[in-house]
Amino acid sequence: MGIRSKYSLHITALIAGALLVTGCGQRGSSDSVGQKMGQSSEKLADKASTASSKVAQAVDDSTITTKVKAALVAEPGLKSAQISVETKDATVTLSGNVDSPDQKERAKQVASSVDGVKNVVDGLSVKSS
């Protein structure tokens, strides 16, 4: 880098610094800037907390789905491969086909009994013979 380029770079940095200082001086006292920064920090913390909660809920929903699927597989007489399980906000939705109304009811009971399940939505269909 030549002398001229270095000189231009320094001048540009000085001008940018002067503009920054001037801009800060026009916004108000350092107290109001500090307050704004504090408010921004609080908003950022709230958003981070909300994001963390959403991630935790997604993990919980995924865990519930896994537990319900395992419980359905362990249930004798249920063709669990034909039953789909989705969970949102601890509400489990069952869908797919079962062979009889008894199997439909049993699948709902099994899903309801899993720890963490708040509600079960029945989207199961009984196969017609």
Q: How far apart, in whole angstroms, are the C-alpha atoms of residue 99 and residue 34?
A: 67
pLDDT confidence of residue 2: 63
Main-chain phi, psi angles of 118, to 5 degrees: -95, -30
Which residues make Cβ contacts (< 8 Å) with residue 66, sequence separation at least 6? none
Phi and psi torsions of 84, nearest 5°: -95, 145
Position 57 scores a pLDDT of 64
Phi, then psi, of 120 in degrees rounded to 5: -125, 125
Element (H, E) at 42: helix 30-74
- Cβ-in-10-Å burial (0-12, 13-18, 19+) of 103 comes to buried
Measured torsion, CA atoms of residues 91, 95, 99, 104, in degrees rounded to the nearest 10: 20
pLDDT in tens, the chain (129 residues): 566 566 666 677 667 666 666 555 555 555 565 565 566 667 766 766 676 666 566 668 899 999 999 999 999 988 878 899 999 999 999 999 999 999 999 999 999 999 999 999 999 999 876
The C-alpha angle with vertex 17 and arms to 14 and 19, in degrees rounded to 5, equals: 110
pTM over cut 0.95 = no
Please report the pLDDT score of residue 3 as a whole number: 61
Give me 108's structure tokens: 């709902």
Note the pLDDT of residue 72: 94
pLDDT of residue 79: 81
